[in-house]
Chains A and B, each alone.
Chain A
Amino acid sequence: MKRRAILLVVGVFGLLLTLPLWASPYTVSLATLFLFFAYAGQAWNIMMGFAGLLSLGHALYLGVGAYTVAALYDHFSIGPWVGLWLALALCGLLAAAIAALAFHYRVAGVYFALLTIACAEFARIGFDHFNWVGGSGGLFLKVVEPGRMDLFNLRGPPAMFYYLILFLAGTALLLSALLLRSRAGYYWQAIRESEDAAAALGVNRFRWKMLAVIISGAMTALAGMFSAFYYSNLFPEQLFHISRSIEIILGPIIGGVGTLFGPIIGAALLTVLAEGATEFVAAVGWDVPGVKQLVYGIVLFAIVAFLPEGIWPALARKLKLRQ
């Protein structure tokens, strides 16, 4: 990476690090939303962007991760920092099971994507009737009095959640960068570009695809944990819904699938545009339900038509961050 690229990353990170000190609560909540999608988008990007495995059902890992940590906290008072390990393991295992099934029966491409949707939908309907965690009525976490901060139980002010998701998104970026430069990154990209050629060069396709799926699924579990404790309520219809899966993948697709910064840029743009449009419509006094989805649609349409590689590759060329 070039010096100016590093400077840019450090600059933006510095800005984000001090954000709660100078920005309004509304801006902080907006930035939290942006970082949430930046994090989840990066998790998805490892599977699709790096290894070429299209998942349209990442809401499954979001939901299972959220419910695992929240249920342990609610029923057994097990803190989220302990529960997250179970969520990681569970989602990794779940991802591995689905992928093993798919690879064994040679379910690939579009059919693989359909399988991931089916699994997420199955979970949504299942959790609707899973009364131990509230069923379709939802699960609610105890809210503490405002102003108190309990990092150990993840109860506290919005700024705490902001820093938590900033940490997660930053770590995900670091992890993605490391993975991409490792044997795994090379092998994933080889598999993405041509499975036959990869195999002929000694790449064990099954093993490396499984690794991508497990890392991606487990990472998304943490997004679920964050979501559960940030909002303090969990509904199957929200967490497992296919629109959640779509929201997760929009960022990377708009920013640039398979790139390091694409998911982050995409998430930033989408959050600003969607929230901006919502605010604008409210301010003007128009009644446009679903304006957010409308913005998503228009942005997606523009990207597919004009920048099919996504924003980041074009932006990087423009800023001369790459050759």
Chain B
Amino acid sequence: MACARTQAEAAPMSASLAVQHVSKSFRGLQALADVSFEIQPNTITALIGPNGAGKTTLFNIIAGAQTPDHGAIVLDGCRIDGLRPDQICRLGIARTFQIVKPFARLMVLDNVVIGALSCCTRVKDARERADAILGMVGLGSKRNLTSAMLTLPDRKLLELARALATRPKLLLLDEVLGGLRPTECDRLMALLRDITEREGISLVLIEHVMRAVMALARTVIVLHHGEVIAQDTPANIVREQAVLDCYLGEPFSV
């Protein structure tokens, strides 16, 4: 796949991200309160917590769709908070949307081409790259469908394919596994592990499918009422009393 060298490629492939004392409120509602954590290069981190904990708001802030009231987002030593979403994408952070946003009237392939154009100079190269990525996520046979015709699980795969096409160093995935059949879920989990290990892309997953969280994540961060209440390995997190109280409920066996 002949792709132009860009910033994303010239820099080391994997990224480290630091979220530093980030706060955000919406008209008095505190969505995030002094959230801090770090993402190591080449790892999978899971972000869990009850609905309304602030997980998606955190993604929006990292990806530049919203600006934090306080705090900083640092990617590989550079502050990126305050940059526009497209600038942050070109620095190597891609994201998917929990409420999927396909380019509905365009073909599946063209959806992914638009992502690939951020790292390919020529449209022809972008189309080749998009084709390869569609094959990778398992949408190859649906490349010529209008994306409005896809089922919800397929639309989530399309979100993933578009984001991957931008050649990210860090990928923010907002509930891509939810709603998939178990076999599909296993296939996608294998793909995500592959992406991290072989391509060196760091992943941050917002996920409610605990089976996937336990199997994939090296670190689990638990958000509750906009605060980080726990941050540990999956094995330890399921024994944490605060996490059991607010989110997991009963003891979870690995």
Interface residues of A (CB under 8 A from B): 181-183, 186-187, 189-190, 193-194, 196-205, 258, 323
Interface size class for chain B?
Answer: 20 to 34
Contact with B90, one of A182, A196, A197, A202 (Cβ below 8 angstroms):
A202
**Contacts A199-B84, A203-B86, A204-B84 known; A193 to B118 CB distance under 8 Å?**
no
Residue of A nearest to B147 (CB): A193
Residue of B nearest to A189 (CB): B106
Cβ B118 vs Cβ A196 within 8 A: no
**Contacts A187-B117, A202-B166, A323-B144 known; A197 to B123 CB distance under 8 Å?**
no
Q: A181 to B86: give the CA distance in the assembly, Å.
A: 21
Residue of B nearest to A203 (CB): B86
Cβ A181 vs Cβ B123 within 8 A: yes
Contact with A197, one of B84, B97, B105 (Cβ below 8 angstroms):
B97
A-B contact pairs, 9 of them (CB 8 A): A186-B117, A189-B105, A189-B110, A193-B103, A197-B97, A200-B85, A200-B89, A201-B94, A201-B114
Q: Determine how close the nearest CB of chain B comes to the CB of A304; give it in whole angstroms.
A: 18
Is B104 located at the chain interface by the 8 A CB criterion? yes
Cβ A186 vs Cβ B114 within 8 A: yes
Cβ B103 vs Cβ A205 within 8 A: no
A residues less than 8 Å from B187 (CB atoms): none
**Other CB < 8 Å A-B pairs besides A189-B105, A196-B85, A200-B95, 7 of them?**
A193-B105, A194-B103, A199-B84, A199-B86, A200-B89, A201-B114, A202-B166
**Contacts A186-B113, A203-B114 known; A193 to B65 CB distance under 8 Å?**
no
Interface residues of B (CB under 8 A from A): 63, 65, 84-86, 89-90, 94-95, 97, 101-106, 110, 113-115, 117-118, 123, 144, 162-163, 165-166
A residues less than 8 Å from B104 (CB atoms): 193-194
Q: Determine how close the nearest CB of chain A comes to the CB of B128; give it in whole angstroms.
A: 14
Q: A186 to B113: give the CA distance in the assembly, Å.
A: 8
Q: How many A-B residue pairs have CB under 8 A?
A: 78
Residue of A nearest to B63 (CB): A200
B residues less than 8 Å from A187 (CB atoms): 114, 117
A residues less than 8 Å from B85 (CB atoms): 196, 199-200
Residue of A nearest to B97 (CB): A197
**Contacts A186-B117, A187-B117, A201-B114 known; A196 to B65 CB distance under 8 Å?**
yes
Q: Determine how close the nearest CB of chain A comes to the CB of B220; give it in whole angstroms.
A: 25
Among B85, B97, B117, B166, the one with the most A-chain Cβ atoms within 10 Å of its Cβ is B85
**Contacts A200-B94, A201-B162, A202-B89 known; A189 to B103 CB distance under 8 Å?**
yes
Q: A196 to B63: give the CA distance in the assembly, Å.
A: 11
Q: A244 to B89: give the CA distance in the assembly, Å.
A: 42
B residues less than 8 Å from A258 (CB atoms): 105
Residue of B nearest to A194 (CB): B101
Cβ B95 vs Cβ A202 within 8 A: no
B residues less than 8 Å from A182 (CB atoms): 123
B residues less than 8 Å from A198 (CB atoms): 103, 114
Q: Determine how close the nearest CB of chain B comes to the CB of A93; give it in whole angstroms.
A: 25
Cβ B103 vs Cβ A202 within 8 A: no
Among A183, A200, A204, A205, the one with the most B-chain Cβ atoms within 10 Å of its Cβ is A200
5 nearest CB pairs, A to B: A202-B118, A193-B103, A202-B89, A197-B101, A199-B85
Q: A181 to B90: give the CA distance in the assembly, Å.
A: 22
Cβ B84 vs Cβ A183 within 8 A: no
Cβ A190 vs Cβ B103 within 8 A: yes
Residue of B nearest to A181 (CB): B123
